[in-house]
């Protein structure tokens, strides 16, 4: 049997406004509990909402970036349910008339082809607070600092067929909203959270029953949750069971998921137009002005990186799709002047390190300026690539002598590369003199085999220099000397 998976995503994206969507309280992350929850956010009696113009502008920017229609008239509705992190007992959101309608996001597949993921709509709404589950004498603690933070909920069509596509879509969205500067994109702070709708079917069949797994707050969890859910559904059906329409919860720590509520238990949200807010009317001039000032989007940046920095399409994608990465890279280039090396380092050493620690580039302990300073020491032959990796490691840790400053670390560790050709010549001569047998073998070997035999000499020379000789110079001098012996 050939199974086909159908996936749709709902992406909650926190907007990078200074204040809440309906109040003048700060949205700054990490404040003491409830110090940024004003009377409106706490739903004190008699308080009323007023819409933040910046939240609206950002939502329109997103719509324009994905080629969507902008709702000239949009409206807020109340979604009614009781939960301690929802102070009003309803969420102010949009249902009938969302601000963003349609649009699409194109993703690149593994085979290099492009797939269009359609967006159903995106709407403005308010975020909820947080329930802290640690125990306060058998009670839960409620922090409402996050309550009222503006969100756009981006709802895709069920156009994805596997976890990789969903991941590519999510990352592309991340790239778009961070490029627009409407979201800080910091996953660890909940700036982007995913609900995934998954169903499976036999190729050609009607859509299967879908489940919704809620509130996945990292790319990895989303990918894992989808894979697990697809497996679960296929196993279930193959064992003669039926998939039930339900809402599920995935726990990233244990990599397990469980049913939260069935369709029958689903809330009756009793949506109706919010009488405290009036319809939002925007005109074409407003839309045109935003359109004219849209910043560079990932696709355009991808192209520019290929042209401006002579990068491969792959590197340009890795560096250009995500705004923070692109900024990091361009800052590094500005400071070191070597795009090729900067690209290698950002996509290589730095990316590996970030991955292994599950960090985003915004959280990198090594700044773009610091990385550029290190790259400069590679370009000017102060350190070899190998040494540079050691320096980078020290910069990353940041707690040794020299802190994050590459020059200080190089000095402290005595890592200066030997580029004095006289000194290297002496070393080469010594090694050749002490390796009569290897020199004989080299001389008698076939021309085509010779390059492979250089490794031994280089290794000996580097060893003799305690790793400090400039490998490129070593290569050049060694070749010249050996040629003389032929």
Partner 1 sequence: MSIDRSDIEKLGELARIAITEENIEATTRSINEVLALVDQLQTADTAEVKPLANPLDATQRLRHDEVSETNRRDDYQPLAPAAENGLYLVPKVID
Partner 2 sequence: MHNKTLAELRTGLNNGDFSSVELTGHFLDRIKTLDKNYNSFISVTEEFALTQARQCDERLAAGDAPNLCGLPITHKDIFCTEGIRTSCGSRMLDNFVPPYNATVVENFAAAGMVVLGKTNMDEFAMGSSNETSYYGPVKNPWHSNCVPGGSSGGSAAAIAARLAPVATATDTGGSIRQPAALCGITGLKPTYGRVSRWGMIAFASSLDQGGPMARNAEDAAMLLNVMAGFDAKDSTSVERDVPDYTATLNQNIAGLTVGIPKEYFNEGLNPATEQAVRHALGELENQGAKLKEISLPHSHLSVPAYYVIAPAEASANLSRFDGARYGYRCKEPVDLHDMYMRSRAEGFGDEVKRRILVGAYCLSAGYYDAYYNKAMQVRRLIKNDFDNAFNEVDIIAGPTCPNPAFEFGAKGDNPVAMYLEDIYTIAANLAGLPAMSLPCGFIDNKPVGLQLIGNYFEEARMLNVAHRYQQSSDWHQRAPGIE
Q: Which long-range contacts (CB under 8 A, 24 or more apart) does 31-40 make?
A: 31/145, 33/141, 33/143, 33/145, 34/143, 34/144, 34/145, 35/145, 36/145, 37/129, 37/143, 37/144, 37/145, 37/147, 37/148, 40/148
Q: Per CB under 8 A, does 312 bind partner 1?
A: no
Rounded CA-CA distance 214/195 in Å is: 4
| Candidate residues 205, 264, 268, 307; the one interacting with partner 2 per rule CB under 8 A | 268
Q: Which long-range contacts (CB under 8 A, 24 or more apart) does 87-91 make?
A: 87/41, 87/42, 87/43, 87/129, 87/144, 87/147, 88/43, 89/43, 91/125, 91/126, 91/128
Coil, strand or helix at 40:
coil
Looking at beta carbons only, is 56 or 350 nearer to partner 2?
A: 56
Looking at beta carbons only, is 260 or 412 nearer to partner 1?
A: 260
Q: Per CB under 8 A, does 89 bind partner 2?
A: yes
User: How many Cβ atoms from other residues are within 10 Å of residue 1's Cβ?
Assistant: 7
Query: Which of the ranges 85-93, 150-158, 202-210, 451-459 carries the binding residues for partner 2, by CB under 8 A?
Result: 85-93
* DSSP bridge pairs for 125: 151
Closest to 150 (Cα-Cα) out of 99, 223, 215, 199: 99
Nearest-10 crossing angle of helices 298-309, 323-336:
20
* DSSP bridge pairs for 328: none
Work out how close the CB of 44 gets to partner 2 at its nearest, in angstroms, rounded to a whole number.
7
Q: Per CB under 8 A, does 275 bind partner 2?
A: yes
| Candidate residues 196, 280, 290, 326; the one interacting with partner 1 per rule CB under 8 A | 280
Looking at beta carbons only, is 39 or 244 nearer to partner 2?
A: 39
Q: Per CB under 8 A, does 133 bind partner 1?
A: yes
Q: Per CB under 8 A, does 279 bind partner 2?
A: no
Q: Per CB under 8 A, does 73 bind partner 2?
A: no
Work out how close the CB of 199 gets to partner 2 at its nearest, in angstroms, rounded to a whole number.
23
Looking at beta carbons only, is 138 or 422 nearer to partner 1?
A: 138
Closest to 336 (Cα-Cα) out of 328, 325, 348: 328
**Could you tell which of partner 2, partner 1, none binds residue 33, using a CB distance below 5 to 8 A set by kind?**
partner 1
Q: Are 408 and 402 in contact (CB under 8 A)?
A: yes
Rounded CA-CA distance 168/185 in Å is: 15
| Candidate residues 109, 132, 244, 278; the one interacting with partner 2 per rule CB under 8 A | 278
Work out how close the CB of 273 gets to partner 2 at its nearest, in angstroms, rounded to a whole number.
8
**Could you tell which of partner 2, partner 1, none binds residue 88, using a CB distance below 5 to 8 A set by kind?**
partner 2
Work out how close the CB of 68 gets to partner 2 at its nearest, in angstroms, rounded to a whole number.
26
| Candidate residues 44, 132, 294, 445; the one interacting with partner 2 per rule CB under 8 A | 44
Q: Are 316 and 329 in contact (CB under 8 A)?
A: no
**Could you tell which of partner 1, partner 2, none binds residue 43, using a CB distance below 5 to 8 A set by kind?**
partner 2
Q: Are 106 and 170 in contact (CB under 8 A)?
A: no
The phi, psi pair for 351, rounded to 5°, reads: -60, -40
**Could you tell which of partner 2, partner 1, none binds residue 56, using a CB distance below 5 to 8 A set by kind?**
partner 1
Rounded CA-CA distance 322/176 in Å is: 7
Query: Which of the ranges 141-149, 204-212, 229-237, 454-462 carries the binding residues for partner 1, by CB under 8 A?
Result: 141-149
| Candidate residues 8, 63, 71, 87; the one interacting with partner 2 per rule CB under 8 A | 87
| Candidate residues 48, 67, 109, 131; the one interacting with partner 1 per rule CB under 8 A | 131
Q: Per CB under 8 A, does 154 bind partner 1?
A: no
Work out how close the CB of 230 gets to partner 2 at its nearest, in angstroms, rounded to a whole number.
30
In angstroms, how far is CA 230 from the centroid of its own chain?
A: 24
Q: Per CB under 8 A, does 96 bind partner 1?
A: no
Q: Per CB under 8 A, does 42 bind partner 1?
A: yes
Q: Are 185 and 323 in contact (CB under 8 A)?
A: yes
Rounded CA-CA distance 476/460 in Å is: 15
Q: Per CB under 8 A, does 132 bind partner 1?
A: yes
Binding site for partner 1 (CB under 8 A): 17-19, 23-26, 32-39, 42, 44, 50-56, 82-85, 131-133, 136, 138-144, 249, 260, 268, 270, 273, 275, 277-281
Binding site for partner 2 (CB under 8 A): 39, 42-51, 78, 80, 82, 84, 87-90, 140, 142, 268, 270-272, 275-278
């Amino acid at each position: 049997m050939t199974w086909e998976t159908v996936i749709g995503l709902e992406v909650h994206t926190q907007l990078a406004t200074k204040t809440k969507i309906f109040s003048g309280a700060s949205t700054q992350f990490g404040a003491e509990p409830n110090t940024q929850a004003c009377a409106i956010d706490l739903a004190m009696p008699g308080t009323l909402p007023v819409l933040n113009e910046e939240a609206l502008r950002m939502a329109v920017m997103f719509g324009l970036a994905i080629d969507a229609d902008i709702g000239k008239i949009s409206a807020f509705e109340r979604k009614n349910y009781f939960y301690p992190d929802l102070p009003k007992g309803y969420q102010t959101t949009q249902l009938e008339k969302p601000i963003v309608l349609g649009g699409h996001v194109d993703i690149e597949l593994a085979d290099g082809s492009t797939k269009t993921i359609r967006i159903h709509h995106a709407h403005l709404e308010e975020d909820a607070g947080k329930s802290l589950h640690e125990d306060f004498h058998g009670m839960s603690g409620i922090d409402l600092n996050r309550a009222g933070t503006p969100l756009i909920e981006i709802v895709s069509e069920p156009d994805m067929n596997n976890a990789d596509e969903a991941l590519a879509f999510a990352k592309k969205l991340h790239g778009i909203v961070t490029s627009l500067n409407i979201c800080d994109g910091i996953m660890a702070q909940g700036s982007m959270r995913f609900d995934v709708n998954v169903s499976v079917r036999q190729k050609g069949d009607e859509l299967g029953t879908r489940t919704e797994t809620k509130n996945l707050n990292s790319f990895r969890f989303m990918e894992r949750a989808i894979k697990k859910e697809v497996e679960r559904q296929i196993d279930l059906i193959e064992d003669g069971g039926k998939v039930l329409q339900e809402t599920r919860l995935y726990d990233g720590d244990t990599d397990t998921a469980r049913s939260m509520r069935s369709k029958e238990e689903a809330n009756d949200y009793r949506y109706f137009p919010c009488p405290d807010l009036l319809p939002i009317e925007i005109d074409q001039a407003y839309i045109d002005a935003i359109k004219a000032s849209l910043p560079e989007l990932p696709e355009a940046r991808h192209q520019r990186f290929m042209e401006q920095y002579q990068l491969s399409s792959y590197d340009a994608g890795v560096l250009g799709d995500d705004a923070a990465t692109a900024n990091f890279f361009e800052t590094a280039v500005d400071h070191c002047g070597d795009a090729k090396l900067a690209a290698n380092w950002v996509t290589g050493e730095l990316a590996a390190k970030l991955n292994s620690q599950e960090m985003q580039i915004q959280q990198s302990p090594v700044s773009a300026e610091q990385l550029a300073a290190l790259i400069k020491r590679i370009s000017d032959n102060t350190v070899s690539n190998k040494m540079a990796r050691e320096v980078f490691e020290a910069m990353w840790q940041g707690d040794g002598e020299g802190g994050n400053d590459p020059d200080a670390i190089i000095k402290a560790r005595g890592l200066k590369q030997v580029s004095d050709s006289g000194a290297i010549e002496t070393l080469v001569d010594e090694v050749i003199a002490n390796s009569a047998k290897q020199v004989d073998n080299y001389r008698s070997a076939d021309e085509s085999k010779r390059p492979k035999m250089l490794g031994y000499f280089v290794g000996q020379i580097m060893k003799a220099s305690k790793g400090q000789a400039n490998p490129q110079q070593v290569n050049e001098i060694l070749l010249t000397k050996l040629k003389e012996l032929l």
